[in-house]
Amino acid sequence: MTTVCDPDDLVVLLDGQRRPIGTAPRATVHHKHTPLHLAFSCYVFDPAGRLLVQRRAVSKPTWPGVWSNSCCGHPRPGEDVADAAARRIREELRLEPGDVRPLLPDFAYTATMPDGTRENEACPVFGAVAAGDPDPDPAEVAEWRWVGWPEFLAAARTSPWLISPWAALQARELDDRFGPAVCGPDVSGTAA
């Protein structure tokens, strides 16, 4: 089967010091030898402090059908990462983010699926606030729900296989850094 690539849908490839060294089509970058590339994750909270979680569409090439954080993606070449996160919240979840802020700007991870497909990402983590329920793109999201942060954190700490590997790692790091205040309006990646 031939993969059709959108010439504008590129990811930024990185060297070992996380400096840009080129681009690759997003549709072909994830495989058994995935190069290090730039991505992001976002945790969208409602004004009451509940976290939006999603189950990835079963057609996704990586971790299909797995529950995860609110939104993930890849910035385009030259695109600010926070702007990319806001763009994907609009495109994927059809929500308007009111506040996108850095939480874990230096997060990176690797994870390998049972079929050998590997994630290898420098993946800054953002928090955002949005009001109202999402109307997600079904090509991206199979299901969604609002959950309390303690519930999501419990899954990450005690049953990490229930959620995406990056979300399990990120949730534990977010809790270690911010505690329950992670869903508060004044949290930023520059907090002590």
Is there a contact between 190 and 106 (Cβ–Cβ < 8 Å)? no
Other residues' Cβ atoms within 10 Å of the Cβ of residue 109: 17
What is the set of active-site residues? 72, 121
Q: Which two tokens stand for residue 127?
A: 């928090």
With a cut of 80, say whether residue 100 has pLDDT above it: yes
Query: Residue with structure tokens 């690539």?
Result: 5
With a cut of 70, say whether residue 35 has pLDDT above it: yes
CA-to-CA distance for 36 and 61, rounded, in angstroms?
A: 17
What does DSSP assign to residue 117? -
pLDDT at 185: 56
pLDDT at 162: 94
pLDDT at 180: 83
Q: Does the 10-177 domain belong in CATH 3.90.79.10? A: yes
Task: Please tell me the pTM assigned to this model.
Answer: 0.91
What's the mean pLDDT in 1-15?
72
pLDDT at 98: 86
pLDDT digits (tens, 9 = 90+) for 112-135: 999 999 999 999 999 999 999 999
What's the mean pLDDT in 152-180?
95
Is there a contact between 44 and 70 (Cβ–Cβ < 8 Å)? yes
Is residue 11 helix, strand or coil? strand
Is residue 86 helix, strand or coil? helix
Q: Name which of 1-5, 27-31, 62-66, 167-171 the model is least confident about.
A: 1-5
Is there a contact between 82 and 126 (Cβ–Cβ < 8 Å)? yes
What's the mean pLDDT in 60-87?
96
Q: Which two tokens stand for residue 152?
A: 């999501």
Residue 190's pLDDT band, with cuts at 50, 70 and 90, is: very low
pLDDT at 39: 98
pLDDT at 171: 97
With a cut of 60, say whether residue 168 has pLDDT above it: yes
Helix (H) or strand (E) holding 69: none
CA-to-CA distance for 192 and 189, rounded, in angstroms?
A: 9
